[in-house]
Amino acid sequence: MTARLVAKRLRRDGLRPVARTVAAKAVNAAVGAWHLAEPGLPLREEDIVDPQSRLQSPVLQSSPVPARTGRLRVGWVCTPPAPGSGGHTTFFRMVEEMEERGHLCTLFLYDPHDDDISRHEETIRSHWPALRAGVRSATNGMEGVDAIIASSWPTAHVAAGRAPGGVHLFYFIQDYEPYFYPRGFLYALAEDSYRLGLTNVALGGMIGEVMQAELGEPPHAVVPFGCDTGTYRLLKPPPRNVRAGVVYYAKRKVDRRGYLLAKLALERFHALHPEQEIHIYGDTVTGWDIPVTNHGNLTPNELNSLYNRTIAGLAISFTNISLVPGELLAAGNVPVLNHSAFASGLLRDPDAVWAPATPTGLATALAEVVGAPGIEERAQTIAGRKRPDWSKTREEFARLLENSCASMPHQAPLHSLRGGRA
């Protein structure tokens, strides 16, 4: 838009419509540039493993992994964590359980761009202080372990390709990760991660059902989804002020968490209840047409306090359910979720509110929750219900690892077929 056209539009329409037009053109230009960019590959090219070649190898088929009993040396492969990462937090709970049972654990961090993991170790020690595991780079060798557990589709490829010989291989699956992408190469690579010969362990029954439907085979085992009921709970004494407002965890670049849908829904909710403060944590948001309170990243205790001060929380997911709904419920807060076959089959809590995955549907549901009477009494009832914590998940996963290593003849990793690789 030229300066002359801008001046003409300003005289005719005023500032706000012109500003919106200029902003929209800037966004369209940015989106166009994004579409022209090559998609990023979240693992090194040499770490892509072909399932068919791997599983049909005569060396692989004739090399069972020996049984391991007693104190295990366990390697856990994950990407470098960011503070507050829910996926890493859940994965690290499994590490902590194995450590508490006397096993020796090592985190193998996989960064496709850098072998130096020193800066990431500082993040782990600061934000997950209960972990005692050593921290090493997955690309510098994963020797000296009896078992290796992958945590995502790129690390499943890494585990299959880089693990030393004689190691039991597992994949702790927290979501059906092909759904993170449009149909294409990355979708296919994520799908292949379930076919690499690792023992697939799904977190929650819905992943098992989706794997059965999409791949024709279920995972080898399923462990239950839990909630951190130690951190997230009703505060006593309760906050001085009566609960008010709603809360939303923003992940702007993670489309499966529905950021654009949440933005539109909360703007419509504000029109219905302008007196209700909208709290946003996680990513800091800008450019909204309504007032919001940005909190940025919060510690778990700070987040529990915010949940205790607010009435409802918007919790959107188009794949496996996130940790947020369970944590809201434990704090007496009402989660409002989008209808999704993937997530709704997992959370059957009577206090969760499911709504159509549309801006109006979610806004209306939020408005009904904040407008209902007896907010404080309802919070007491919700928080008072008994819900599964992570102890059962941790115990079942640890037992599965121990029993599998003690008795299951497993296939040898691809490393032994390539003559070794650092």
- Mean of all residue pLDDT scores within the chain: 88
Q: Give the torsion through C-alpha atoms of 181, 187, 192, 198, to 10 deg.
A: 0
Output the pTM of the full model.
0.84
Of 1, 22, 18, the C-alpha closest to 9 is 18
Give the Cα separation of 263 and 226 in Å (integer): 28
Q: Kindly report the CATH class assigned to 246-384.
A: alpha beta
pLDDT over 70 at 283, yes or no: yes
- pLDDT classification of 113: cutoffs 50, 70, 90: very high
Q: What is the pLDDT of residue 10?
A: 56
Domain ranges in the chain with CATH number 3.40.50.2000: 45-226+392-418, 246-384
d(CA 395, CA 49): 31
pLDDT (mean) for 268-273: 98
What pLDDT shows up at residue 346?
Answer: 65
Name, in order, each residue with C-beta under 8 angstroms of 362's C-beta and a sequence gap of 6 or more.
261, 262, 265, 269, 314, 316, 336, 338, 355, 356
Give helix then strand counts, H and E, for the chain: 17, 13
> Which residues are CB-neighbours of 14 under 8 A, at least 6 positions away?
none
Mean pLDDT of 375-387: 94
Mean pLDDT of 219-243: 89
Residue 354 banded pLDDT, cuts 50, 70, 90: very high
What's the token pair of residue 360? 């109006």
Mean pLDDT of 21-48: 64
Fold of 45-226+392-418: Rossmann fold (3.40.50)
* pLDDT at residue 18 in the model: 47
Q: What share of the chain is helix, strand, coil (3-state, %, to 5)?
A: 45, 15, 40
What's the average model confidence in pLDDT over 331-354? 85
pLDDT at 238 > cutoff 80: no
106 has pLDDT over 50: yes
Q: Worst-scoring range by mean pLDDT, 138-142, 151-155, 339-343? A: 339-343
As a whole number of Å, the end-to-end CA separation of the chain is 55
- Compute the distance between CA of residue 112 and CA of residue 13 in angstroms, rounded to an integer: 50
CB 306 within 8 A of CB 295: yes
